[in-house]
Amino acid sequence: MTKYEHEETWIYLSLQEVSCSFGVTTETILDIIDEGIVTAHINEQQEMQFDAEALRSIRTTLRLHQDLGVNMAGAALALELLGEIERLRALLPRG
């Protein structure tokens, strides 16, 4: 590997680590999974693991829920619409 190349590092957090990080119960995180907002990876020990993309979605979902009172189904819809806006913006010409 040259000095300009770098190895990608993937960091995953467990269900317990995610719930502690966001200050919510594991049941809340499981509700987010049940709504289809995020998908957990399952490691060799059959434990749920969450990547950076899942953590971003969980953070946004919790903010919508806690700050604005949006239920989980509404948060799922809002995230889907935000993703679509991002996709459409990427199609717009720059300049």
Those residues of the chain that have pLDDT short of 70 are 1-9, 95
Asked if residues 54 and 40 have their Cβ atoms less than 8 Å apart, the reply is: yes
CATH T-level topology, domain 13-91: Multidrug-efflux Transporter Regulator; Chain: A; Domain 2 (1.10.1660)
Q: Where are the domains of the chain?
A: 13-91
pLDDT digits 0-9 by tens, 48-70: 999 999 999 999 999 999 999 99
Q: How far apart are CA 66 and CA 32, in angstroms?
A: 13
pTM here? Answer: 0.82
User: Quick one: tokens of 29?
Assistant: 């995180």
Q: DSSP 3-state assignment of 18?
A: helix
